[in-house]
Amino acid sequence: MFYLRILFILWCLTGSYALADLPKAVEPDKRLQSEGKGWRLEKADAVDPKIGRILLIGDSILNGYARQVIKKLHGKAYVDMWVNPYHQSENLNKILDRVLSQGPYDLIHFNVGLHGWQEGRIKKGTFIPLTRAYVRVIKSKYPKAKLIWANSTPVTAKNNITVLDSEINPTIIEHNRMAKMVMDEMKVPINDFYGLLNKNRKLAKGDRFHWTGPAYNLLAEMVVESVLRELD
């Protein structure tokens, strides 16, 4: 028993050390703050080497559906999750490489884009090359891993979920369009989060960015189906 306790302490220390090297994620726009526990990297306790391991990457939307995915994939895949507020940038690609080192991973399901809606956050003309470089970081780290990209979800008008936000949503649509060009070019399958929730706009929370439980359940089902299909 004493020996097992020592092993557990060592595991905790080494795990904490690896994660402590990541920079603290800060989101200056309070409207985009995470729901739940906030920005973090959570690792599953993988004990069976025969079971695959996947990584979910996203923002506060991921916070909404991750638990359902973990539950639905129990016994089929270990699920790590990186919830972060980053948008396309060279700095993000450097951080991504360090996060991926927490693997190995058999599949990476990722979304990046919602937090880049404000003008000036992503320099004009850099979205496509930065997104392409992001995918290359993953492919170079795990050339045999399966990849799935999820596009960014719709942004509804504040306190009026029947209408899309006229300031932000056009940028989301454009970023999704450009990201799709990259994914098609690099042969990365796509989960259409935008289309799914746009058809179910009545499930929006009303704060522009976030959604209710039933909406997150729909996203979780889409993620699980795509993960099992790719791992089969």
Residue 183 CB coordination number (10 Å): 18
143-185 pLDDT per residue, tens: 999 999 999 999 999 999 999 999 999 999 999 999 999 999 9
Domain ranges in the chain are 2-231
- For the cut 80, the answer to whether the pLDDT of residue 29 exceeds it is no
Residues 208, 197 contacting (CB under 8 angstroms): no
Kindly indicate whether the domain formed by 2-231 is annotated with CATH number 3.40.720.10.
no
Burial 61-89 (b: 16+ CB within 10 A, else e): bbbbbbebbbebbeeebbbbbbbbbbbbb
Residue 102 CA to residue 44 CA, distance in Å, equals 11
Residue 129 CA to residue 134 CA, distance in Å, equals 9
DSSP state of 136: H
202-227 pLDDT per residue, tens: 999 999 999 999 999 999 999 999 99
State which H helix or E strand residue 157 sits in: strand 156-157
The model's pTM is 0.87
